[in-house]
Structure 1
Amino acid sequence: MRTGQMHPGMHPIDERLVRRLVAGQFPRWAGLAVERYPSGGTVNAMYRLGEDMVVRLPLVEGGAGDVSSEQAWLPRLAPHLPTPIPEVLAAGEPAEGYPWPWSVHRWLSGENPEAGELSAPLLLAGDLAGFVVAMRSITLPQAPQAHRGGPVASLDAETRSAIDTLRGIPQEGVDCDAAAAVWEEALQAPGWDGPPVWLHADLMPGNLLVDGGRLSSVIDFGCAGVGDPACDLFPAWNLLPAGAREAFREALAVDEATWIRGRGRTLSQALIALPYYRRTNPAMARNARYVIRAVLDER
């Protein structure tokens, strides 16, 4: 069990490195303040640059492709969406011993919503549904495959392994038999037989910003692409309480099979995340516990 870094192979990043990268490649910003921004993110580090920008750098090699994908697709997606998304102001290159591409984005204000502490859950559910509908309506060509956007069965081995791991962590109190039953239901549900649709594919609370209880921005498009629309139902269980969950479903007109797949996918992510992050990322572990409770309580 890891007790230090979230992932093996994490590259050390600090304010001095970010200052050198910015000064070397974008000297017009060299005199601006650089400050680490606390985040529950798992793949990227974020540093506030002055008042109006943020530097986003992959922590691990697997995040480098996400940065490149965002640099290519964010400008093309933004005009089609009702909610602000990150704007890439500059694309950084490997330097100063840092091995991967990185980005400077315009700063987006707001706070991450906290499951169980929403001030306007029904309004937020409507905002989220509007964003998902807009994503699904996009028809940009040559779209990449969304991360997690394939068949539910592609997650089976990792999900079953996570359930077995949680059986050995009784202090987490997960009803593993009930979780396995929900997962089996998702596997048995009819798969998506329509054309793949555009997805954010990672609608976690940490990738949402709210202001006054309403959705103000959606960030982190590293997983975005096309696939099964069930992938963007995550907020139903990782953020929204029961009444708002139903409003979210109604606004999206989700059929039963897609709902079952979405619930299973959301549970799968939580089951995998909980043992992985329980000692290294409190925010991810806390939300995983929330999801597991929400899904199992719904049955």
Structure 2
Amino acid sequence: MDTPAADLAVDAHLVDRLVRAQHPDLAGPLTLVANGWDNAVFRLGDELCVRLPRRRVAVDLLRNEQRWLPLLAARVGVPVPAPVRLGEPSGDHPWPWTITPWFPGVPAVDRSPARRGPIAVELADFMARLHVPAPADAPRSPVRGVPLAARDPEVRRRLAGGELPRSAELAALWADLVGTPAWAGPPTWVHGDPHPANLLLAEESVGLAAVLDFGDLNAGDPACDLAAAWLVFDADGRAVFRRRLAEVGGADADSWARGRAWALNIGSAIAVHSGDNPRMAAVGAHALKQVLLDE
């Protein structure tokens, strides 16, 4: 399945008009960086980035980022795209948009799983700092951070669709994992989309340069983010990640099992919906291989 069509075409000419009209002091050269499922991303000059919804479904998610990321940025210990300026709806673009810092680095999706291993401790520490009880008015998601039972029908349909290799094994694993006891603690902050395209690695040294795309930010079960263990790492990196989580009190056995279920859920969705994106298709395939590799 391919990337969904945009509800609104977004190009550099449109972005330039928006920046010059609302933030003329920041106007500068624009380069398209990504045209994702929900948002278009342009680099603005050397130090800034513009993120605009290309689909209506992304608008509320962007508003969540605008409201909550400035509050979370100070506590997570890793650079995140907290807004520098806010863009308002206008006749050119009917939805809000954001100017954020530009973070130099290499997307983790462009490095092999083995080369991502050195960020395992940093990523575990980021999650431990993020996974604190969220306020009562924090956003909730219908698809991320929810009890596994809420995802059961969709995952079973996906695995029965005939598009994934080893689907019978994956279905049996899901049937076992979906019965894991649900999260009994208070809803915590959850990134919600912990795959390697949302992690930026330092260019000149081994390290985590930034965590990106908080469109799925919500309050829920922190095990959703533990899916990174299978989405991002190989067995060696996963072992380091799990060991560090244990040291910081971030995951008991049930949370780890739910994280594996979330990796199966997210990985299968990526695999099915990335027909026109080989980089992301490889992420999905890797995650499904890893969840079956573990015992």
TM, length-normalised to structure 2:
0.91
Instruction: State the SS of the aligned residue for 2:185.
Output: coil
**Further displaced range: 240-249 or 130-139:** 130-139
1:10 CA displacement:
3.3
Tell me which of 241, 266, 272 is aligned to 1:275. 272
Q: Does 1:11 align with 2:1?
A: no
Tell me which of 231, 234, 238 is aligned to 1:238. 231
Letter in 1 for 2:271: L
1:99 CA displacement:
2.4
Tell me which of 35, 40, 46 is aligned to 1:51. 46
Alignment of 1:1-299 (within 5 A): 2=2, 6-30=3-27, 32-38=28-34, 41-114=36-109, 116-119=112-115, 121=117, 123-137=118-132, 140=135, 142-146=137-141, 148-165=144-161, 167=162, 169=163, 174-211=165-202, 212-253=205-246, 254-278=251-275, 280-299=276-295
Alpha-carbon RMSD across the aligned residues, in angstroms, is: 1.8
1:293 CA displacement:
0.9
- Identity fraction in percent: 34
Determine the C-alpha separation between the residues in 1 that align with 2:146 and 2:159. 21
Instruction: State the SS of the aligned residue for 2:150.
Output: helix
Instruction: State the SS of the aligned residue for 1:119.
Output: helix
Determine the C-alpha separation between the residues in 1 that align with 2:94 and 2:114. 39
Deviation digits for residues 85-105 of structure 1, max 9, x if unmatched? 113111112234422111011
**Is residue 65–residue 82 contact of structure 2 (8 Å, CA) maintained in 1?**
no
Instruction: State the SS of the aligned residue for 1:82.
Output: coil
1:225 CA displacement:
2.1
**Is residue 114–residue 237 contact of structure 2 (8 Å, CA) maintained in 1?**
no
Q: Across the two proteins, how many residue pairs are aligned to each other?
A: 287
Relative to 1, partners in 2 of residues 1:244 and 1:180: Cα closer, same or farther, differing over 3 Å? same
Instruction: State the SS of the aligned residue for 2:186.
Output: coil
Which ranges of structure 2 fall in alignment gaps of 5 or more residues? Answer: none
Determine the C-alpha separation between the residues in 1 that align with 2:135 and 2:72. 8
Instruction: State the SS of the aligned residue for 2:108.
Output: coil
**Is residue 21–residue 96 contact of structure 1 (8 Å, CA) maintained in 2?**
no
**Is residue 133–residue 186 contact of structure 2 (8 Å, CA) maintained in 1?**
no
Instruction: State the SS of the aligned residue for 1:198.
Output: strand
Determine the C-alpha separation between the residues in 2 that align with 1:24 and 1:93. 10
Which ranges of structure 1 fall in alignment gaps of 5 or more residues? Answer: none
1:70 CA displacement:
0.7
**Is residue 80–residue 138 contact of structure 1 (8 Å, CA) maintained in 2?**
no
Letter in 2 for 1:108: F
Determine the C-alpha separation between the residues in 1 that align with 2:57 and 2:66. 16
Q: Which runs of 4+ in 1 moved over 6 A?
A: none
**Is residue 64–residue 215 contact of structure 2 (8 Å, CA) maintained in 1?**
yes
TM, length-normalised to structure 1:
0.90
1:117 CA displacement:
4.6
**Is residue 273–residue 284 contact of structure 1 (8 Å, CA) maintained in 2?**
yes
